[in-house]
C-alpha cells in the first residue's frame, strides 16, 4: 500500500515480547485512534509505552495480534509510505556525525535553507547557527548536543516531516518548565488535524488530548477523557 495515510490507527489484541523476555512488553492491547484524534499514554517506567509506539513504526512486529493504519494491515504498507505518513520524536534522538543541515534534511530532503533555519528558530536552537550556520558540524569531531538540544533537534525533524501521524515519546523530557510549555504549544499547533500519540510522565498538555490511556505491565488498565481519569 503506497499512499500517505489519512491517520486512523488500530491495535487489535496486540502482544509483543522482546527476545528472551519473561513477560510481554505489550500484552493484548486493543486501541482505536481515529484520524485527527489525540491520545496520551501514561504509566510508570517500563510499562511498555515506547514499545507500543515502536510497533507502529515497525521497529518490531507483534508476536500476535495486528496493527492497521487506515484499515490496512501494517505489514502491507510500503516502507516509504509509512515514512511519509509518520513523524516520530523518540525518547532517544539520534544525532548523526554530520552537518546540522544533514541532521535535519534527513526528515525532508527537499527543504530549503530558509525552511531549515525557520524550524531551528522555532525550536529554540538558533545558537547552533552561530558561526558556520547550517554547516555546523554535529557529533564526533563537532559540536556535541545536550539532552535538551537533542530533544529539540528531534522535534525540528518531526515538524519538517509534517506527517499526518505524530508520535511523541516524552518530547519535553529534560526541558525546563518554561521551555516545556513553549515546545508543547508549538507541537500542539503543528498537530492540528493530525493523529497524535503522546507519551508523557508529566501532567502537562493532557487537556488537549481526546483520550488518556493509563498503561501497566504492557496493558491498558484505564482509558477515558482526561477529566474522567
Q: Cα separation of 179 and 123, whole Å? A: 9
Site membership for Mg ion, residue 172 (CB under 5 A): no
Site membership for ligand ATP, residue 205 (CB under 6 A): no
Q: Which residue's CB is nearer to ligand ATP, number 5 or number 47?
A: 47
The answer to whether 137 touches 143, Cβ cutoff 8 Å, is yes
Task: Tell me the DSSP string of 160-214.
Answer: HH--SEEEEESTTTT--HHHHHHHHHHHHHHTTTSEEEEE-SS-SSGGG-SEEEE
Site membership for ligand ATP, residue 122 (CB under 6 A): no
Q: Cα separation of 33 and 198, whole Å? A: 12
Q: Which residue's CB is nearer to Mg ion, number 17 or number 50?
A: 50
Q: Cα separation of 175 and 7, whole Å? A: 29
* Run of H or E including 42: strand 38-42
Q: Which residue's CB is nearer to Mg ion, number 44 or number 78?
A: 44
Which of Mg ion, ligand ATP, none has residue 62 at its interface (CB below 5 to 8 Å by kind)? none
In the window 1-20, what residues touch ligand ATP (CB under 6 A)? 18
Site membership for Mg ion, residue 51 (CB under 5 A): no
Task: Give the per-residue contact string, 20-59, with ligand ATP (x = CB under 6 A; - = no).
Answer: -x---x-----------------x-xxxxxxx--------
Q: How far is the CB of 55 from ligand ATP (least distance, A)?
A: 10
Residues near ligand ATP, by CB under 6 A:
18, 21, 25, 43, 45-51, 91
Amino acid at each position: 500500500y503506497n499512499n500517505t495515510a489519512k491517520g486512523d490507527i488500530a491495535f487489535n489484541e496486540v502482544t509483543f515480547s522482546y527476545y528472551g523476555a519473561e513477560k510481554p512488553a505489550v500484552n493484548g492491547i486493543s486501541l482505536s485512534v481515529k484520524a485527527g484524534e489525540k491520545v496520551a499514554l501514561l504509566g510508570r517506567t517500563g510499562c511498555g509505552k515506547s514499545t507500543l509506539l515502536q510497533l507502529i513504526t515497525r521497529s518490531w512486529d507483534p508476536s500476535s495480534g495486528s496493527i492497521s493504519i487506515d484499515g490496512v494491515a501494517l505489514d502491507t504498507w510500503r516502507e516509504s509510505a509509512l515514512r511519509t505518513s509518520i513523524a516520530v520524536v523518540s525518547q532517544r534522538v539520534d544525532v548523526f556525525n554530520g552537518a546540522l543541515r544533514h541532521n535535519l534534511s534527513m526528515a525532508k530532503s527537499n527543504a530549503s535553507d530558509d525552511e531549515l533555519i525557520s524550524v531551528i528558530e522555532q525550536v529554540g536552537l538558533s545558537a547552533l547557527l552561530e558561526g558556520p550556520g547550517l554547516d555546523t558540524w554535529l557529533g564526533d569531531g563537532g559540536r556535541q548536543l545536550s539532552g535538551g538540544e537533542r530533544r529539540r533537534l528531534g522535534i525540528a525533524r518531526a515538524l519538517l516531516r509534517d506527517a499526518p501521524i505524530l508520535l511523541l515519546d516524552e518530547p519535553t523530557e529534560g526541558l525546563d518548565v518554561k521551555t516545556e510549555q513553549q515546545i508543547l504549544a508549538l507541537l500542539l499547533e503543528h498537530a492540528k488535524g493530525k493523529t497524535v500519540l503522546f507519551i508523557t510522565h508529566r501532567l502537562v498538555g493532557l487537556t488537549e488530548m481526546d483520550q488518556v490511556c493509563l498503561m501497566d505491565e504492557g496493558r491498558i488498565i484505564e482509558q477515558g477523557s482526561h477529566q474522567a481519569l
